Chain A
């Protein structure tokens, strides 16, 4: 029986087993070392910014979060807001993204026709050349390129 068992362990099989063990140990060490290094880096990054507010954390991501916050602060919850088209303005025109921060306001894409179909209160986003059509009403500017128009058509 013992002889049979030891016959199973031929030299190529021994070599293969040793090779597998070496590969396993090397891969395990390299992989775990690299992974732990990455996780620790992220952990340290988080610990350094532990005291940051939600706004600071979002600002760090580089999205248009500040502008959305500005819109939120300057519009009522039942507002209809007209945004630039997503094709030309992929970031600011992404209504799915914007709705997360502006809920429960109603967000729309569109042109002058769409603007006239919306019930009050209506706001139009000003962003890098948008709107290209005339919108009547007072302007609330965040900076030279971004702001809001509170749409109030003349009777």
Chain B
């Protein structure tokens, strides 16, 4: 247990040191959340790179990777003259915020408890992620993914993280996902707090925490919640870049999208909404370099894995194949209204009716968040302009979701998809941008509350 806590502290320290390189002003909530997500991903990526020089997966390699990562970060820090600031700037919270904080903490602990108590049992978690993690750990080689687990071209952020946690026993392995869940909540709340959404922000964070589908994914070993963490954080910091034009946030967002590519094979597809809106921003501000800068860090994560899959485990490229297929679909799109209508109907059922509007049944529900988002959007239609960038990203995310399924439908697998995988995977992909929808809703409400407060205080 002590060793586990030590490893956890090492990951946080690595992540926080890395985050500090971007010179962004972040609340301690965000710093903790990012420290976990970034620290773990850098550690797994460093371990993966070590396999290129023939290093096997063992304690000594892990220690070596940790030290190399740390020394590199410290070297860059020294070069850029960035001081290490481990101080936590704590503002005294109010009673309602403390109460909400305790409830959120209890939800986080419940997730952790469930993760520890229940073994890895869901089908994909065992076959896709668990088998690879266990094979890397047991056989001491990252190359084991070639023979163990299904879909060898899925990136290895989660399997290597699982292999790392296997040192402490199987119950600890699933805690990775509960910590991601807590990290999602911390970054979500910390960012809302930065925009002055104190009470409403903590209420929104609680709503996110108890959303059945989000909570469920924090207790099973699927890579969708980690991907949601990276994508949500990337959009939030890209939005922050649009606010203050601090390139540190742009780079942070880019790194997070890059790590998304290192977490899920479809990570690259989710780069496009961000990149499209960033390009519009860059054109309006005449900052031509920004979209190119944004692509740089992504390639750092994208290229080694592409080389590894193509030349070492000799399988198809995970990103290029699927992305090219989708782009081809876009140009040769044969609009079939029946398919389009079916997706729309399905989307409507998922967000308004199925396990949502009437009653939350089972674990597939989004609760009441989607109807809430659309009602707030309609009521604040006059303020959409202020949030045009964020809303554009959300709109493009929904379009990407539609496009993925429309593309698949055109591949002739329509009936199979509808019958088997549609329901589960549609929701799992929606999970990537679901927190951003709630984030936008809370921003709109907080804006109005602040305005009314200022009117009330002026009236007095």
CB distance from A110 to the nearest CB of B (A): 15
Residues of B within 8 A of A142 (CB): none
Offer 19 A-B interface pairs, CB within 8 angstroms, sorted by A: A8-B451, A23-B372, A27-B372, A35-B207, A35-B367, A37-B360, A38-B210, A49-B117, A58-B121, A95-B150, A96-B127, A96-B151, A97-B127, A97-B131, A100-B130, A103-B131, A103-B134, A103-B148, A104-B139
Tally of contacts, chain A with chain B, CB under 8 A: 136
Which residue of chain B has its CB nearest to the CB of A30? B368
Stretch at the interface among A12-20, A116-124, A132-140: A12-20
The answer on a CB contact under 8 Å between B110 and A9 is no
Stretch at the interface among B74-82, B301-309, B452-460: B452-460
Which residue of chain B has its CB nearest to the CB of A39? B110
Residues of B within 8 A of A2 (CB): 458-459
CB of A34 within 8 Å of the partner chain:
yes
CB distance from A56 to the nearest CB of B (A): 10
CB distance from A40 to the nearest CB of B (A): 8
Contact of A32 among B131, B210, B448 (CB under 8 A): B210
Contact of A20 among B149, B369, B445 (CB under 8 A): B445
CB of B290 within 8 Å of the partner chain:
no
The answer on a CB contact under 8 Å between A43 and B110 is yes
The answer on a CB contact under 8 Å between B448 and A17 is yes
Of residues 137 through 182 on chain B, the ones whose CB sits less than 8 Å from some CB of chain A are: 138-139, 147-151
Q: Which residues does B use to contact A, with CB under 8 Å? A: 107, 110, 113-114, 117-121, 123, 126-128, 130-131, 134-135, 138-139, 147-151, 200, 203, 206-207, 209-212, 215, 219, 359-360, 363, 365, 367-369, 371-372, 375-376, 379-380, 445, 448, 451-452, 454-455, 458-459
CB of A114 within 8 Å of the partner chain:
no
The answer on a CB contact under 8 Å between B131 and A100 is yes
Q: A24-B200, A32-B210, A57-B118 are in contact. List 18 more A-B contacts (CB 8 A).
A: A2-B458, A2-B459, A6-B459, A27-B371, A30-B368, A34-B360, A34-B367, A37-B360, A38-B360, A39-B107, A42-B110, A57-B121, A63-B121, A94-B150, A99-B131, A99-B149, A100-B130, A106-B147
Residues of A within 8 A of B110 (CB): 39, 42-43
Residues of B within 8 A of A23 (CB): 372, 375-376, 379
Q: Which residues does A use to contact B, with CB under 8 Å? A: 1-2, 5-6, 8-9, 16-17, 19-20, 23-24, 27-28, 30-32, 34-39, 42-43, 46, 49-50, 54, 57-58, 61, 63, 94-97, 99-100, 103-104, 106
CB distance from B368 to the nearest CB of A (A): 5
Contact of B114 among A17, A37, A46, A96 (CB under 8 A): A46
The answer on a CB contact under 8 Å between B117 and A46 is yes
Please measure, in the bound complex, the distance between the C-alpha atom of A19 and the C-alpha atom of B375, giving whole angstroms: 10
The answer on a CB contact under 8 Å between B379 and A19 is yes
The answer on a CB contact under 8 Å between B114 and A5 is no
The answer on a CB contact under 8 Å between B128 and A96 is yes
Residues of B within 8 A of A19 (CB): 379
Residues of A within 8 A of B134 (CB): 100, 103
CB distance from B88 to the nearest CB of A (A): 28
The answer on a CB contact under 8 Å between A34 and B359 is yes
Residues of A within 8 A of B215 (CB): 35, 38-39
The B interface is mostly helix, strand or loop, or mixed, namely helix
Contacts A9-B452, A17-B448, A103-B138 hold; do A96 and B131 have CB atoms under 8 A apart? yes
Please measure, in the bound complex, the distance between the C-alpha atom of A1 and the C-alpha atom of B457, giving whole angstroms: 12
CB distance from B138 to the nearest CB of A (A): 6
Which residue of chain B has its CB nearest to the CB of A5? B458
The answer on a CB contact under 8 Å between A97 and B203 is no
The answer on a CB contact under 8 Å between A31 and B369 is yes
CB distance from A84 to the nearest CB of B (A): 16
Residues of A within 8 A of B375 (CB): 23
The answer on a CB contact under 8 Å between A100 and B207 is no
Residues of A within 8 A of B126 (CB): 96-97, 100
The answer on a CB contact under 8 Å between A6 and B448 is no
Residues of B within 8 A of A94 (CB): 123, 127, 150
Which residue of chain A has its CB nearest to the CB of B371? A27
Residues of B within 8 A of A106 (CB): 147
Contact of A58 among B119, B200, B209 (CB under 8 A): B119
Please measure, in the bound complex, the distance between the C-alpha atom of A1 and the C-alpha atom of B454, giving whole angstroms: 12
Which residue of chain B has its CB nearest to the CB of A60? B121
The answer on a CB contact under 8 Å between A35 and B149 is no
Residues of B within 8 A of A38 (CB): 210, 212, 215, 360, 363
CB distance from A8 to the nearest CB of B (A): 6
Residues of A within 8 A of B219 (CB): 42
Residues of B within 8 A of A6 (CB): 455, 458-459
The answer on a CB contact under 8 Å between B203 and A28 is yes
CB distance from A2 to the nearest CB of B (A): 6
